[in-house]
Amino acid sequence: MEAAKRWTLLIAVLALAAFAVWRGAAWVADLPPERSPFKELDIERPIGWATAMQFNRVRSDPQLCTATLAASDIGTEPIADSREGADDQCGFANAVALTQSTYAYSGAVRVSCPLAAALYVWEREIVAPAAAQWLESPVARIEMIGAYACRNIYGRAEGRLSEHANANAIDIAGFRLENGRVVSVLRGWEGEAGDAAFLRQVRGGGCEVFQGVLSPDYNRAHADHLHLDMGPYDICS
């Protein structure tokens, strides 16, 4: 090949490569947040493959978590940081009281910021469609057992501190429907087919947003509730 032709070919290849990089960068920049690991969590968006990674950043960055809640339609009020317990092992840190979410709750939801963010996504993206698929009526209210409690796991005197001790966990007993019926974890898990399928779907879908999800499948201590937490242990059972 003559020198002139070689140069023309080289320039054409370089131009093509530059175009590909430019288009690729534009494509990445245009990705919706739930499919871009470079963007931060947007809890108004559906769950995508980048959502879990983004939740990890929110769990380890209190300011990012606060900004995430502020950028959404969730209603929260900050809870002042506090410590209690024999060794100050319990308490609230960067926690919020939920004032407006997709669903009402049967009690006061006072939880860590990351747990509030995860509940908001779970209600809309997992619970609402599961109810539409399996139940005769939409969910009106989530029946909770509790969230914050200064105790060890299973309430034992010894052992590991529960995620509840830092308001990083919530126990859900069931779901009150708009028609008044209650789908409880205790009766529904092995109950009527639609209720059982609904409960398994909200459990399994919960694993996409929460760190720890424990159901009646885990052990008898969870026969009557779903435990949802944002602690360090990745468990889905």
Q: Which is nearer to Zn ion, 34 or 171 (CB)?
A: 171
For the chain, the farthest-separated pair of C-alpha atoms sits apart, in whole angstroms, at: 85
- CA 89 – CA 79 distance, rounded (Å): 17
222 in contact with Zn ion (CB under 5 A): no
Q: Which is nearer to Zn ion, 103 or 210 (CB)?
A: 210
227 in contact with Zn ion (CB under 5 A): yes
Rg, the chain, Cα only: 23
Which residues have CB under 8 Å from 116's CB, separation 6+? 69, 74, 76, 96, 98, 109
In the complex, the smallest distance separating the C-beta of residue 164 from Zn ion, rounded to whole angstroms, is 6
Among 125, 171, 195, 208, binds Zn ion (CB under 5 A): 171
In the complex, the smallest distance separating the C-beta of residue 185 from Zn ion, rounded to whole angstroms, is 12
Sign of CA dihedral 150, 156, 158, 162: negative
Sign of CA dihedral 213, 219, 222, 224: positive
Burial class (CB in 10 A: 0-12, 13-18, 19+), 12: exposed
In the complex, the smallest distance separating the C-beta of residue 153 from Zn ion, rounded to whole angstroms, is 8
Interaction residues for Zn ion, span 140-169 (CB under 5 A): 169
Q: Which is nearer to Zn ion, 33 or 203 (CB)?
A: 203
Q: Which is nearer to Zn ion, 31 or 223 (CB)?
A: 223
Residue sitting closest to Zn ion (CB) = 227
Q: Which is nearer to Zn ion, 57 or 105 (CB)?
A: 105
Q: What is the DSSP letter of 192?
A: S
- CA 65 – CA 45 distance, rounded (Å): 15
How many residues of this chain bind Zn ion (CB under 5 A)? 3
Q: Which is nearer to Zn ion, 64 or 236 (CB)?
A: 236
Of 117, 229, 98, 103, give the one whose Cα is nearest residue 171. 229
Span between the terminal Cα atoms of the chain, in Å: 66
Q: Which is nearer to Zn ion, 101 or 162 (CB)?
A: 162
Please calculate the CA angle 205-170-230 and round it to the nearest 5 degrees: 65
In the complex, the smallest distance separating the C-beta of residue 228 from Zn ion, rounded to whole angstroms, is 8
In the complex, the smallest distance separating the C-beta of residue 229 from Zn ion, rounded to whole angstroms, is 7
In the complex, the smallest distance separating the C-beta of residue 143 from Zn ion, rounded to whole angstroms, is 14
195 in contact with Zn ion (CB under 5 A): no
Binding residues (CB under 5 A) for Zn ion: these are 169, 171, 227
